[in-house]
Structure 1
Amino acid sequence: MDQPLIRFFGSLCLAAAACAALPATAQDATLVDGGKLLLTNGVTTIEGTSGGGLATWATIAGRETDAGIGVSGHVTFVELPDYGWQSHGLAVGLFDRVELSYARQNFDTRDVGAALGLGQGFTFNQDVFAAKLRIAGDAVYGAPMLPQIAVGIEHKRSGDAAVVKAVGARESKGTDFTLSATKLFLSHSILVNTTARLTKANQTGLLGFGSAGADDYRLQFEGSVAYQLSRRAVIGAEYRTKPDNLAIAREDDWWDLFAAYAVTRNLTVTAAYTDLGSIATFDKQRGAFLSAQVAF
């Protein structure tokens, strides 16, 4: 088993053991209470981590504060002119300090699959195992100029090793490393996030990692700005740069304009207009992003 997976599952086991060691009444309290302000736990990214839709944030999944254990689940759809994208997964937040998550991504090539010789409706699949650690600051409270800062690791495994290598990828699995800073300026109702990502991923890993001519880690940027219209509603924009490794197809940066609404304390719905540029030689992949997150 790869070292990133060993560390991931090791952390998960330690968390489970810590929870099991609590008295029954304490376990019930930590799993039921949710003390975060609405929307301050973020929504769910395409990789299954907490944040925006495209960008990872320093936030920790779930609605629990440092007094307990939070849980969230998501399902996301992206409808593009030539493709369909879907993901679903779970995340656990431990005492607002550690986040462990898993997401399954499915990328439907529809008619493009036949045009590229892969077969009508060929679907690329990827599993993403991630862990995040908050190392400093608080996204909402504390010093106004000290953001919440978190480091993260995302281990990705393509389910289509032979295909991604045939299109030029060097590997079918890889690991991203992230450093995020997030701050909500409550008095101005503005949230700002920036993330640095070290990655070799082609189309976030769905088309493998690296290539024969480009197998080094590349530093990429993810940024988000959001404005809180009310306690329940937020609008904003995101931008994400991406490496361009494959010789057969150009890879563009991504951006979106989004709106998130807390239907209840536990259910948040996010909708966005997103521009993913060129994907596998097909340009102008602009469309709708829709995601639902349940969090406790």
Structure 2
Amino acid sequence: MTMSTHVWRISAMTIAVLGALAAMPAKAQTGKLVLTGGVSTIEGAGGGGLTPWAFIGTQATENEWGVATNLTHVRTDDYSLNAQGVSFGWDDKLELSLGRQSLDTGITGQGLGLPGLKLDQTIVGVKYKLFGDGVLDSDSNLPQVAIGLQHKSLDSTGLDATLNALGAKRTGTDFYVSGTKLFLKQGILVNGTLRATKANQNGLLGFGARLGGDETDYDFVPEVSLAKLLRNNVAVGVEYRVMPNKLENAGRAAGLGNGLAADDWTDLFVAWAPTKNVSLTAAYVDLGRIVPATTGNRDQRGVYVSAQFAF
């Protein structure tokens, strides 16, 4: 299945969602403060670029619905990732999201006998706000807290035999809890997320592994975001996301040494909202090693660009 097919499907899905929402009684008329709904993560949920926040995405506030779409491109030394998604927010409490990722391994696939390998993944997400209001409670110590899940499904590709040999599955579900605190007077946002996951490289290399030891249990990994509002429509910040390392033992058992090791992800970003409904994000990313057996053990550093349209 080609990337153009995936883009067409996401676009058709967005149109269908917009059509369905048009029949609902109330849509987002006033909306939130600029950038307080976050942007879109690479997995489709509202938040930063790498990690979800407790804030519900879209411009919807109480008793309103909203919709957001996003396009994201990440390029590192050896890989490129394209992501598209759509999310739906209701009553500033519930968020539903659907994302699609496609990783192009470029020439690194030659190390696996699969040059030009593309790995495609679909992510269905749900987020629900438990308590707190990130804006109205900005003068208190109470954060906004939300729980969520992301069900990830990796398409069948030429990597199937390799994943089977490693004992990695092609589907998995992440669970997370996020707490987000906005210090409105200081223009500072802090987010912490704790994720339970079995995903290898966000799921693009499957979930868990059995070769070399049973690595099929959930890992609990932290993720943090810190952002500073320079103006009401410009923010800069940093994110750090701990990544599980479930494939390294399997790689050693397969004679690859640390050739399947994974490292934590980080980014330095700037987000700009030229209008209330449009946000543009650019970032420097460091994703550490991704299948170092095929990349000369290089860290994967590069750029991240994303556009979100939220209503």
TM-score above 0.5: yes
- Find the aligned partners of 1:85 and 1:144 in 2 and give their Cα distance: 39
- Find the aligned partners of 2:299 and 2:279 in 1 and give their Cα distance: 29
The letter of the residue matching 2:87 is A
Corresponding residue number in structure 2 for 1:185:
183
Corresponding residue number in structure 2 for 1:238:
239
Q: Say which of 53, 58, 61 aligns to 2:57.
A: 61
How many aligned residue pairs are there? 273
What is the CA-CA distance between 1:146 and the residue it aligns to? 0.6
Within 5 A, what are the aligned runs for 1:109-124?
Answer: 109-118=105-114, 120-124=115-119
What is the CA-CA distance between 1:169 and the residue it aligns to? 4.3
Alpha-carbon contact 1:169-1:208 (below 8 Å) kept: no
- Find the aligned partners of 1:81 and 1:242 in 2 and give their Cα distance: 19
What is the CA-CA distance between 1:113 and the residue it aligns to? 1.3
Within 5 A, what are the aligned runs for 1:1-296?
Answer: 27=25, 30-118=26-114, 120-142=115-137, 144-160=140-156, 162-163=160-161, 165-166=163-164, 168-212=166-210, 213=213, 214-246=215-247, 247-248=250-251, 249-281=260-292, 282=295, 283-296=298-311
Cα RMSD of the aligned pairs, angstroms, is 1.7
Q: Equivalent pairs: percent with the same residue?
A: 44
What is the CA-CA distance between 1:183 and the residue it aligns to? 1.1
What is the CA-CA distance between 1:168 and the residue it aligns to? 1.7
- Find the aligned partners of 1:160 and 1:111 in 2 and give their Cα distance: 20
- The unaligned stretches of length 5 or more in structure 1 are 1-15
Q: Which runs of 4+ in 1 moved over 3 A?
A: none
What is the CA-CA distance between 1:115 and the residue it aligns to? 2.5
DSSP 3-state at the match of 2:126 = strand
The letter of the residue matching 2:73 is F
What is the CA-CA distance between 1:284 and the residue it aligns to? 1.3
What is the CA-CA distance between 1:165 and the residue it aligns to? 1.7
- Find the aligned partners of 1:75 and 1:39 in 2 and give their Cα distance: 17
- Find the aligned partners of 2:165 and 2:119 in 1 and give their Cα distance: 13
What is the CA-CA distance between 1:167 and the residue it aligns to? 5.9
- The unaligned stretches of length 5 or more in structure 2 are 1-16, 252-259
What is the CA-CA distance between 1:32 and the residue it aligns to? 4.7
The TM-score, its normalising length taken from structure 1, stands at 0.89
- Find the aligned partners of 1:251 and 1:86 in 2 and give their Cα distance: 20
- Find the aligned partners of 1:96 and 1:180 in 2 and give their Cα distance: 15
Q: Deviations over 1:59-114 (max 9, x none)?
A: 11110101200100000000111000010010000110000000000000010112
